[in-house]
Amino acid sequence: MRVLVTGGAGFIGSHIVEALLAAGHEPAVLDLRPGAPGLPRVPFHRADVRDPDAVRAALAGSGAEAVCHQAAMVGLGKDFADAPGYVGANDLGTAVLLAAMAGLGIRDLVLAGSMVVYGEGRYDCPEHGTVRPGPRAPEDLSAGRYEPPCPHCGRPLTPGLVSEDAPADPRNVYATTKLAQEHLAACWARTTGGRAISLRYHNVYGDRMPRDTPYAGVAAFFRSALERGEAPRVFEDGAQRRDFVHVRDVATANAAALTALPGRPAGTLRAYNTGSGEPRTVGEMARALAAAFGGPAPVVTGEYRLGDVRHITADSARLRDELGWRPAVPFSRGVHSFAHAPLADPPAPLPAPAPAPVTVTAR
């Protein structure tokens, strides 16, 4: 299958290109970057996913039969001033891509989704069963009360695995744009008879992560600090639960999704959690990475960021059962490899998109 990988020169995208080649597909890349170290030699279209003409040319020029959409602005960012950048890169870019696909009759899409659409993960109260706590209060976080209580009785909760059927509850701008991407893709599928799969990535880590950027994941923060000879700084108390999944496993999940798409019903989007299935704490990741790197031990700071959630771990049974995917990189091996792999340079800031022509009709 000929596949256009948007963002294919990036951290996850470049691994997906390798996985598609290994699976016998013919990938091409659309990316603003000129390339990436280690990126296989494949057809390359240097373009902005928000540029309708460039996107259409890349789709037509590559003869794409399917698209693997990875291009996005990622991470929690710095503050709300980042909102226009996130909405432009993630939602406008996705809308431009889907419109071009609709015009060219391309009907198969794998979307880079995210676990951030859930907000907090699953929690169980001994009295009220499964509950959904609201956003944590700044005064609680400042006082070191990090665990969300039961919204009904205030009792401590037990965190569990979140399934794809959990209601969405995005807690920051990035999360909101990732949910909007899924809604756009679902609308595209219904309108065109397309078939879409959203892989809701959990905490992806591995070689080629970008260094020293507020838009990277927590594992990249820790690895960047170690490379500078500094101790990783762990926010809150380090007991936040996450599902750290290696980038090579995420890449093979994309290959499995592309293989499954032709058998999916037309007009549908199906979401799949994409995680290792082995919850770890943020503190565990920091300690394991520091030990593998041979650097200073982590420092637990008690700092926090509004918009962060306490616990979010994946139930990836649907992906295993329906697509036959299995993670192959154990945590210990993945962390050791990541500790010694070079980090990539952070991507350049996105340029402002060219304004679209506007027609005003008097009423």
DSSP at 253 = H
Q: Give the dihedral of Cα atoms 95, 101, 105, 108; nearest 10 deg.
A: -100
CA angle 273, 284, 310 (to 5 degrees): 55
Q: Give residue 113's identity as a one-letter amino acid code.
A: G
Which residue in 174, 205, 215, 304 is the catalytic one?
Answer: 174
> How far is it, in rounded angstroms, from Cα 183 to Cα 162?
20
- Residues 327, 245: contact at Cβ < 8 Å? yes
Q: Which is nearest to 21 in space by CA: 43, 6, 36?
A: 43
Q: Is 119 left (phi over 0), alpha (psi -120 to 50) or beta?
A: left
Instruction: Determine whether 201 is an active site residue.
Output: no
- Residues 239, 283: contact at Cβ < 8 Å? yes
Task: Tell me how crowded residue 42 is: count the other CB atoms within 10 A of its CB.
Answer: 17
Catalytic machinery residues: 174
